[in-house]
Structure formats: structure tokens, C-alpha cells
């Protein structure tokens, strides 16, 4: 394609208000992220109504900043893209209504993007060699999926969590350890000073051949361990609990992901979503991937967390295939990838 394609992308599915300008799918001209973490921290998790109000306050300045950092105006754009699901309905609606208004008033094509597709696409931005097919783990606060990426917008979900998402399990254990929110990065940091073999927490590999996950047994085991220590008046090494818990999660996630990649004969295995920032998961996957002869890729932390650049990237591959969304599309809190 001769002409550069510039897409303005908007992401408001949870607690980050983000806008980005992306050129030809893989070049990020701006990626502004306004995080609400400091507001939700005091409640120990995201409060949906508060999130919607904060998105409303931030969305226009964030879009203005994204356009000005990219040194373009609405006139230079080729399309407007937005996350339409899954996510919090009130939060999604703010981004969706704004994107529709900009696209309609500027007479631009409008593209709704699946948030999980965006997380996967974050990898294309930094890994120019990456092309489908490949096998990917999407692990965030709301999802834990093993996905076979057949093409840019064609997916097979090979496995999913049967209870908590991996990030959710990190957040719950962090709360029980008194660490705060969001728990994943705090456990990751604390685990660095702990012994990952101190406590033998259970790993749920489920039925033979299954690519599904279950974290509820592990979560209960960690909570029971802490309660029984407290009842006996014994001291708890929070660093050992963090390291042993993290090890159990990283062990199961990396083992299943490598097995799924071998099953599909993938050249690449890829991480995506907030939990993809986890240092032990990255390390263990690198080791196991290399042993199996599979290349392991993941995005930098800023592209693992919710951001609009990943939405702009995913939207580009829809745009060049002529895929457009109707202005009647609504927020879809439970939108599936398949
Ligand atoms: O993708 P994301 O930013 O938002 C959702 O779409 O949910 O993921 C947020 C989740 C939170 O549960 C957070 O605790 C977790 O990702 N997370 C991590 C790490 N950084 C973020 N979990 C484990 N280790 C990390 N370093
Ligand atoms: Zn996300």
C-alpha cells in the first residue's frame, strides 16, 4: 500500500483512558495513557461508576494530546478505532460514543475492536517479524486464554480459565497479603526477595490434554496457608508466599502455553495482557520455549497494560481488509474473540 494509513484509536474498557495515533498498524506516533489506579487503589479494586466518570473527564484532553504529540489533526486521519468490548459497560460507552462522534463528524471510517484482540496485537508493534499463525497467552485482570492466532483477525480459543483470571488471582492474594492494588506488580516485586520453593502450592493441570486453567484451588491454598499460620501465631514470610504463589501460576501458564504451541507446531509463542509483565512468567516461558525450540515474544510493560496503541494496531488489519463497523454497534461487555 503506497499511502500511509493513520488511525486514531481510543481505549476505555477498564481504568485507563487512552488515545493513540498509529501509522500503518505498527508505528506508534503517540500513545497517551491516563491511569485511574490512584483513585481506585483506596477501594482495593476498580469501581465501575467512578471509572466511567473519570473517563468522561479525561477523554477529550487525552485525545487532544495524542493528536498533538503525533503532530496531526483530524483531517490527516484515515479511520477512528475504539474498543467495543469486553470490559465495563459504562467505561466502554465513553470511548465508544466519543469515537463515533469523531468518526461521524469527520466523515471517517469507524472500526470497533475487541480488547483481547488488541492485547494480542500489542506484540506486532515491537516485533516486526511477528506474523500469524502463532500461539498466544492472553492473561489479564479479566481474562486468561490460550489463543491460536490463525490470521490477523481469526482466532481459535484453545483454553480458558474456568474460574478466576490469572491477574484476578494475583490481585486477591496481594490483598490478603496486605499489599494493595493492583496486586500483580506488587507480588512480582516482593517475590524477588522470597524463596519460590518455600511453599509447595498446588498446580491445577486439569484433565490430560486440557488447555484450560483453574486458579481457585491455588487461591484457597494460599489463603488457608496464611490463615493457619496466623491462627498458630506463627510469622508469615510474605515474600515466600508471594514467590511460591507466583511460581505456581507461572509454572502452569508456561507449561500449558508451550504444550499448546507444540500442538499447533508454532514457530512463535507470545504473551499478552497485564500479567505478561510478570518477570517469573517471562523467565520460565523463555527457558521452556527455548528447550522446545520455540521463539518466545512479549511486549514491553507499557504495551502489556491497557493502551490505545494496541487497539490502533488491531484496527489497521481490519481496515486494510475493508472491515468497518456500523455506528449502531453498542458496548459489548462480554464480547468473545471467536
Ligand atoms: O491487561 P490489564 O492491564 O487490564 C485488564 O484488561 O484486565 O491487566 C491488569 C492485570 C491486573 O490484575 C494486574 O495485577 C496484572 O494484570 N498484572 C500483573 C503484573 N502487572 C500487572 N500480574 C502479575 N505480574 C505483574 N508484573
Ligand atoms: Zn486489558
State pLDDT tens for residues 284-334: 999 999 999 999 999 999 999 999 999 999 999 999 999 999 999 999 999
Compute, in angstroms, the gap from residue 72 CA to the centroid of ligand 1.
32
Q: Which ligand is nearest to the CA of 167?
A: 1
Compute, in angstroms, the gap from residue 95 CA to the centroid of ligand 1.
21
- The pLDDT tens digits for 264-280 are 999 999 999 999 999 99
What's residue 42's pLDDT?
A: 86
**Ligand 1 probe mutation, 92, 115, 139, 167, most atoms within 8 A of CB:** 167
What global pTM score does this model have?
0.96
Rounded CA-CA distance 245/253 in Å is 13
- The pLDDT tens digits for 193-205 are 999 999 999 999 9
- The pLDDT tens digits for 226-261 are 999 999 999 999 999 999 999 999 999 999 999 999
What's residue 131's pLDDT?
A: 98
Helix (H), strand (E) at residue 65: helix 48-69
Compute, in angstroms, the gap from residue 307 CA to the centroid of ligand 2.
8
What's residue 45's pLDDT?
A: 86
**9 within ligand 1 shell (Cβ under 6 A):** no
Name the segment(s) of the chain with CATH classification 3.30.420.40: 6-120+304-319, 132-299
Contact residues for 150 (Cβ-Cβ < 8 A; gap 6+) = 132, 133, 156
Helix (H), strand (E) at residue 89: helix 89-105
The stretch 87-97 carries a mean pLDDT of 98
**87 within ligand 1 shell (Cβ under 6 A):** no
Rounded CA-CA distance 128/64 in Å is 28
What's residue 52's pLDDT?
A: 94
Compute, in angstroms, the gap from residue 201 CA to the centroid of ligand 2.
27
Compute, in angstroms, the gap from residue 45 CA to the centroid of ligand 1.
12
Q: Assess whether the previous peptide bond of 96 is cis (omega < 30° from 0).
A: no
Three-class secondary structure assignment of 226-280: HHHHHHCCCCCCHHHHHHHHHHHHHHHHHHHHHHHHHHCCCCEEEEECHHHHCHH
- The pLDDT tens digits for 7-60 are 999 999 999 999 999 999 999 999 999 999 889 888 888 899 999 999 999 999
Compute, in angstroms, the gap from residue 3 CA to the centroid of ligand 2.
31
Of all protein residues, the one whose alpha carbon is nearest to atom 7 of ligand 1 is 141
Of all protein residues, the one whose alpha carbon is nearest to atom 8 of ligand 1 is 274
**140 within ligand 1 shell (Cβ under 6 A):** yes
Q: Domain 132-299, what fold?
A: Nucleotidyltransferase; domain 5 (3.30.420)
pLDDT grade for 1, boundaries at 50, 70 and 90: low
Compute, in angstroms, the gap from residue 229 CA to the centroid of ligand 2.
35
Compute, in angstroms, the gap from residue 305 CA to the centroid of ligand 1.
7
Hey, CA dihedral for 254, 256, 259, 261, is it positive or negative? Answer: negative
**273 within ligand 1 shell (Cβ under 6 A):** yes
Locate the ligand 1 atom nearest the alpha carbon of residue 273 and give its number.
Answer: 1
Locate the ligand 1 atom nearest the alpha carbon of residue 115 and give its number.
Answer: 6
Using a pLDDT cut of 70, give the percent of the chain over it: 100
**36 within ligand 1 shell (Cβ under 6 A):** no
What's residue 44's pLDDT?
A: 84
**306 within ligand 1 shell (Cβ under 6 A):** yes
Compute, in angstroms, the gap from residue 165 CA to the centroid of ligand 1.
10
**25 within ligand 1 shell (Cβ under 6 A):** no
* Cα 32 to Cα 11, 22, 23, 62, 198, distances in angstroms: 10, 12, 15, 6, 41
**305 within ligand 1 shell (Cβ under 6 A):** yes
Rounded CA-CA distance 255/237 in Å is 27
Q: Which ligand is nearest to the CA of 185?
A: 1
**CATH superfamily of the 6-120+304-319 domain:** ATPase, nucleotide binding domain (3.30.420.40)
- The pLDDT tens digits for 185-231 are 999 999 999 999 999 999 999 999 999 999 999 999 999 999 999 99
For residue 297, list its beta bridge partners: 270
Locate the ligand 1 atom nearest the alpha carbon of residue 142 and give its number.
Answer: 7
3-class state of residue 320 by DSSP? coil
What's residue 70's pLDDT?
A: 98
Grid cell listed for 92: 466502554
**18 within ligand 1 shell (Cβ under 6 A):** no
Task: Locate all alpha helices (DSSP H) within 111-165, ordered by sequence.
Answer: 115-126
Amino acid at each position: 500500500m503506497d499511502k500511509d494509513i493513520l488511525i486514531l484509536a481510543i481505549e476505555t474498557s477498564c481504568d485507563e483512558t487512552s488515545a493513540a495515533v498509529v501509522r500503518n498498524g505498527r508505528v506508534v506516533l503517540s500513545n497517551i495513557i491516563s491511569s485511574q489506579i490512584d483513585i481506585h487503589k483506596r477501594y482495593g479494586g476498580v469501581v465501575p461508576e467512578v471509572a466511567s466518570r473519570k473517563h468522561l473527564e479525561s477523554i477529550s484532553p487525552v485525545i487532544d494530546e495524542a493528536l498533538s504529540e503525533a503532530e496531526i489533526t483530524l483531517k490527516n486521519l484515515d479511520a477512528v478505532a475504539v474498543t467495543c468490548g469486553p470490559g465495563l459497560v459504562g467505561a466502554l460507552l465513553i470511548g465508544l460514543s466519543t469515537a463515533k462522534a469523531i468518526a461521524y463528524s469527520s466523515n471517517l471510517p469507524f472500526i470497533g475492536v475487541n480488547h483481547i484482540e488488541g492485547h494480542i496485537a500489542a506484540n506486532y508493534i515491537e516485533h516486526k517479524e511477528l506474523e500469524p499463525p502463532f500461539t498466544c497467552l492472553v492473561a489479564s485482570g479479566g481474562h486468561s486464554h490460550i489463543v491460536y492466532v490463525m490470521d490477523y483477525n481469526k482466532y481459535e480459543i484453545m483454553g480458558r480459565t474456568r474460574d478466576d483470571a490469572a491477574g484476578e488471582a494475583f490481585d486477591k492474594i496481594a490483598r490478603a497479603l496486605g499489599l494493595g492494588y493492583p496486586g500483580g506488580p506488587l507480588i512480582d516485586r516482593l517475590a524477588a526477595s522470597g524463596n519460590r520453593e518455600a511453599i509447595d502450592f498446588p498446580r491445577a493441570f486439569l484433565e490430560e490434554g486440557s488447555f484450560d486453567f483453574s486458579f481457585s484451588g491455588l487461591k484457597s491454598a494460599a489463603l488457608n496457608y496464611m490463615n493457619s499460620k496466623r491462627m498458630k501465631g506463627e510469622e508469615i514470610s510474605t515474600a515466600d508466599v508471594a514467590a511460591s504463589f507466583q511460581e505456581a501460576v507461572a509454572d502452569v501458564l508456561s507449561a500449558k502455553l508451550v504444550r499448546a504451541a507444540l500442538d499447533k507446531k508454532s514457530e512463535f509463542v507470545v504473551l499478552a495482557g497485564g500479567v505478561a509483565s510478570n518477570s517469573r512468567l517471562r523467565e520460565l516461558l523463555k527457558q521452556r520455549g527455548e528447550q522446545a525450540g520455540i521463539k518466545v515474544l512479549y511486549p514491553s510493560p507499557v504495551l502489556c497494560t491497557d493502551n490505545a496503541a494496541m487497539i490502533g494496531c488491531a484496527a489497521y488489519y481490519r481496515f486494510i481488509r475493508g472491515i468497518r463497523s456500523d455506528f449502531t454497534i453498542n458496548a459489548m461487555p462480554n464480547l468473545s474473540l471467536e
